[in-house]
Structure 1
Amino acid sequence: METTEILGYIGALIVGLVLGLVGGGGSILTVPLLVYLLGYSPVIATAYSLFVVGSSSLVGVIQKHRKKLVDFKTGLAFSFPSFLAVYISRRYIVHSIPESLFTFGSVTITKNMAIMIFFALIMLLASVSMIKNTKEKNLININQSYYKTFIQGLIIGTITGIIGAGGGFLYVPALVLWANLPMKKAVGTSLVIITLNSLIGFIGDWQNLKVNWSFLLFFSFLTILGIIIGGNLSKYVSNKSLKKGFGYFTLIMAIYIIYKEI
């Protein structure tokens, strides 16, 4: 086993620890890990990320359900437009994007470059979301028609489908503002959406890609192991401080990816 592969598997364990401690951010680490350390293309990396995040989030749903922090009815209702968009994105949109998009001066913007830059921009949004101190009492709950939620679900699903992310940083505020859920229950409920979105999105990729199952299953196993360890450690760590620290780390990673690609 090569050094980079060993580091990749250690990274998988760290991804799980982050998910267990912070409750999100798995894909933010998984995609760069697969691309820059293990040498996978962004298309394959985002596909594998969907499986890793989906299977890991399923474990998170079980953990949160035991604590009565999951609203399955709301989660499933919101999941429908989202997983439709994720599946269509992974099955058709991502694989239909041409390898070379356009040339800007002496720089050719490729499909892989565009996916990673788009991923980095979403990471920037995620980092701001994690760094900013938003108190639940300052959030305004707005009840709205389901067709609006359906459209919003399609938009978020398309974004998460393209970048191969779970999208927890987008779904949690949506569930608080649109579904009127308390913050802790919104986090647990978002895992239902993330699980469905990620695994159904991966099915869309499975029909287009040759999957290295031995690697993917072992990588996912280590991530889930990390989630269990992180979940047990979370009671000893300040979630607020950890989330803000991870937000700054995400910001640095986003800047690094943009620098690396451009």
Structure 2
Amino acid sequence: MTEIVGYIFSILIGVSLGLIGGGGSILTLPVLVYLLGISPVLSTAYSLFIVGSTSLVGSFSYMKKGLVNYKAAVIFAIPSFVAVFLTRKYLVPSIPDHIMSFGTFDLTKNIAIMVFFAVIMLAASYSMIKDKKKEVETNEGLKFNFPLIALEGLVVGTLTGLVGAGGGFLIIPALVLLVKLPMKMAVGTSLLIIAAKSLVGFLGDVANQPIDWMFLTKFTAFSILGIFIGSYLTKYIPGEKLKKSFGWFVLAMAVYIIIKEIVL
């Protein structure tokens, strides 16, 4: 029964990516860990593949509409590729299973990953909930602050490698503020970046983790189905209103994870 519920949530992961261009990884890790009982370290690897594959499929529709800026994607993605691959290949395996103790509380690798992920969720929820100024949908005035874009790619790549999050809530603001992309193009470009760096990061796990390919393929297939549903629903549901509601849900999930891992 829990597996069926898990597959239902996998569809919702894709729906989220299709509707708002992000949020998929925020759902993926809690579903894999708490609902399906997969270890946090392995779940972050699965999340990279699921979100990467789903985002790749989702980016195709933006490519057809000319809403992907390939120059910005390359500038952002190259340092991100390096960071996410090295993080998954060397940093994550080097973290000890038992990190430290605080009295009767033992900080383990699994707890640290989940708490750090919850902090990322808090940042994501703030990004989704806050009101934003109306974006002007124009391609004029695009500029490329190469050092800042590359630095942002490095930071997002490291975060992706640690917790398996695609980082759309960090990538989209960076593309809007640093490159001056219109919002729709920022979402399309973000999906392509998330796809590429997540799948590159997953390659760093293939040799380190026991991958259940049958489960991973099925879960990803349902998620891809969800992104088609989400893309269709964008015709009828205001994306900004949905993003704010999803932000409150993410905030509640973050608080739940922190309480469960530290207090309970």
* Pairwise TM-score range, normalised by the shorter structure: over 0.9
Q: Distance in 1 between matches of 2:223 and 2:144?
A: 37
In the other structure, the counterpart of 2:53 is 55
Cα distance, 1:212 vs. partner?
0.3
Verify the 8 A CA contact 2:156 2:170 in the aligned structure 1: yes
Secondary structure in 2 matching 1:236: coil
Q: Pick which of 176-185 and 164-173 moved more.
A: 176-185
In the other structure, the counterpart of 1:129 is 127
In the other structure, the counterpart of 1:21 is 19
**Identity in percent:** 55
Equivalent position to 2:43, from 25, 42, 45: 45
Cα distance, 1:82 vs. partner?
0.6
Segments of 5+ residues of structure 2 without an aligned counterpart are none
Please say if 1:79 is aligned against 2:95.
no
Q: Pick which of 62-71 and 40-49 moved more.
A: 62-71
In the other structure, the counterpart of 1:117 is 115
Q: Deviations over 1:149-202 (max 9, x none)?
A: 322321121012101011000001111111221121111111111011100000
Change (3 A) 1:144 1:16: closer
In the other structure, the counterpart of 2:152 is 152
In the other structure, the counterpart of 1:32 is 30
Q: Pick which of 224-233 and 13-22 moved more.
A: 13-22
Verify the 8 A CA contact 1:76 1:192 in the aligned structure 2: no
Secondary structure in 1 matching 2:32: helix
In the other structure, the counterpart of 1:260 is 260
Q: Distance in 2 between matches of 1:66 and 1:151?
A: 29
TM-score, with structure 2 as normaliser? 0.94
TM-score, with structure 1 as normaliser? 0.95
Across the aligned residues of Structure 1 and Structure 2, the Cα RMSD in angstroms comes to: 1.5
Secondary structure in 2 matching 1:235: coil
Change (3 A) 1:145 1:74: closer
Secondary structure in 1 matching 2:54: helix
In the other structure, the counterpart of 1:65 is 63
What letter corresponds to residue 261 of structure 2 in structure 1?
A: E
In the other structure, the counterpart of 2:189 is 189
Cα distance, 1:137 vs. partner?
5.1
Q: How does 1:132-211 map to 2 (within 5 A)?
A: 132-136=130-134, 145-211=145-211
In the other structure, the counterpart of 2:105 is 107
What letter corresponds to residue 178 of structure 1 in structure 2?
A: L
In the other structure, the counterpart of 1:10 is 8
Secondary structure in 1 matching 2:235: helix
Cα distance, 1:144 vs. partner?
6.3
Verify the 8 A CA contact 1:31 1:45 in the aligned structure 2: yes
Q: Distance in 2 between matches of 1:179 and 1:144?
A: 5
Verify the 8 A CA contact 2:128 2:244 in the aligned structure 1: yes
Verify the 8 A CA contact 1:160 1:167 in the aligned structure 2: yes
Q: Distance in 1 between matches of 2:162 and 2:120?
A: 11
Verify the 8 A CA contact 1:69 1:185 in the aligned structure 2: yes
Q: Distance in 2 between matches of 1:214 and 1:137?
A: 42
Residue correspondences, number:
258
Q: Distance in 2 between matches of 1:73 and 1:137?
A: 21
